[in-house]
Structures are given as structure tokens and as C-alpha cells.
Structure 1
Amino acid sequence: MGRNVFAVLAFGFAMSWIFAVVGMAAGDPETAQAAAFQVLAPLVFASSAFVPVYTMPGWLQAFANHQPVLQTAEAVRTLVLGGPATTDVREALLWDAGIEALSTPLGVWLYRRVAR
């Protein structure tokens, strides 16, 4: 398994904790789906996954350059194309660790509260 697959799996694991929190905080499946879309849509569409960031309006570039999907997309792209990926991978993994550090305890707390 390549390093690029590991970067995607690490990001997916981090996002799964966010969506676990959203799902437990929502009252029903439809609300959870609507809330999850509100979290994911801005991250995906305001990243370099589909278009180069420099083509975006200035205010959107500021957001796009500082969010986890962009860092993961850049890390995977650099790993696949074979360039110096140390900085991109480090930033992507830091985002993943930060997301997990915040959402894991919250998810566990919500689960304990809901499971009672």
C-alpha cells in the first residue's frame, strides 16, 4: 500500500470522527445527513481537489489555503506525482491529528450521553 493511500485513509479516519459526532448530535438520520453536507461541502469545493486555488476569489483563497481537504489533496497529489512531499504530508497529518484530538473526546462523550 502506497503512502498516498495512507494519507487518504488517515484523512478518512479523522473525518469519520467528525461525522460520528454530527450523527450522534443529530436527532434523526435525515438531520444528520443535512448537517454532514453542511460540514463537507465547503471543505471539498473550496479546495484544490477540483480547481487550482489561485483561480478562486481572494476571500475564498484565504479559506481554501487553510483547511484539511486542500492539505490532503496536495499531499496525495505530490506523492502520486513524485515530488518533495514532506511538507504537504506533514501538514495533512497535523490536520488529521488535530481533528481527531478535538472530535474523538467529543464523540466518546456524546456516545456515553446517548447510550444512557
Structure 2
Amino acid sequence: MRYTASAVMVLAVGFVMGFRADGGVGALLAALVLLNAFALGMGWIFTAVALMVRSPGTVMTLSWLMLMPVTFGSNIYVAPETMPGWLQAFVAVNPVSHITTALRGVLGGAPSLGAFGVALVTPLAVTAIFAPLSMWLYGRERE
């Protein structure tokens, strides 16, 4: 629910600033599904990290160390064609790039089923891996 509330607030600010979703209400709902799936997957990764380390400060540091490369090494800020070849290879497999491409397509009124599918399957796969891992780590810690 928190992820949905955050996304709705960001979209509301975007609307105030002039953003309009060319895909209509359906596009907005699809974007919310993608964003929630992505946030859920990332949440499980950070839950597993938090259960592996003891200090909240260490969790925050590791979280930022993981987020920085995937954020800045994506297609959010710069077109991949303008990047060096080695960075283009990273951008091509970066889940942040996948979700960005899918959201741009959906909200821009030109959705790609392939981009949407990859952007949806990736966080679901991450959740399928990290949710059981987190639960196992939690159970191990309580023993």
C-alpha cells in the first residue's frame, strides 16, 4: 500500500507540473502495477540484506551502494546510444532500464508488450528468489 501511495503522490505532482499520460487511465493503472511489482522485488532484496547485517547504518550504506550503479547505469538520464559499449551492455541487462523503458512506453501511449513483460517478470523473479531467502534468514535468526 505504501508503494501505491508513493506512486500516486509522484503522479499527482507530475500532473500539477503538466504531465499527461497519453495512454489514459489504463496506462496509469498499468504503471502502478509495474511500479508496485518493482518496489516489492527491491524490498525483498533489502530485507535480505538487512537480515544478513546487524547495523542499520550498514544496511543503509549497502542499499545505496547497490542502488547507485543500477540507477546511474540505466537509461533514466541518458540515451544508451551515447554511452560507451561496456556501459551499454550493462544498461541492456539492468532491471531499472527495463522498468524505465516499459513505463515510458505505457505512459507515453506506445506500450511494448515485450518491454512490459520483461519489466513485470524481472521483479517477480527477484521476489521469488529473495522472499524465501529473507524468510529463511529470519527463521535462522530467531532460532
Instruction: Please confirm whether the aligned pair reaches a TM-score higher than 0.5, indicating the same fold.
Output: yes
CA contact (8 A) 2:38 2:123 kept: yes
User: Corresponding residue for 1:62?
Assistant: 89
User: Corresponding residue for 2:60?
Assistant: 33
For residues 111 and 36 of structure 2, the distance between their equivalents in structure 1, rounded to whole angstroms, comes to: 20
CA contact (8 A) 2:102 2:111 kept: no
Which among 91, 102, 105 is matched to residue 129 of structure 2? 102
Q: Secondary structure of the residue that 2:93 maps to in structure 1?
A: coil
1:90 matches 2:117: yes
User: In structure 1, what residue type is equivalent to 2:113?
Assistant: T
For residues 56 and 111 of structure 2, the distance between their equivalents in structure 1, rounded to whole angstroms, comes to: 42
User: Corresponding residue for 2:14?
Assistant: none
Q: Which has the larger radius of gyration?
A: 2
1:111 matches 2:141: no
User: Corresponding residue for 1:75?
Assistant: 102
**Number of equivalent positions:** 116
1:46 matches 2:55: no
Q: Secondary structure of the residue that 1:2 maps to in structure 2?
A: helix
Offset of 1:85 from its aligned partner? Answer: 2.1
Offset of 1:48 from its aligned partner? Answer: 0.9
Q: Residues 14-40 of structure 1, C-alpha deviation per residue, up to 9 Å, x if partnerless?
A: 100000011111111011011111211
Stretches of structure 2 that go unaligned for 5 or more consecutive residues are 1-27
Q: Secondary structure of the residue that 1:7 maps to in structure 2?
A: helix
User: Which range is displaced more, 48-57 or 15-24?
Assistant: 48-57
TM-score with structure 2 setting the length:
0.77
Q: Secondary structure of the residue that 1:21 maps to in structure 2?
A: helix
Q: Residues 39-88 of structure 1, C-alpha deviation per residue, up to 9 Å, x if partnerless?
A: 11111111111111111111011011102111001111100001132111
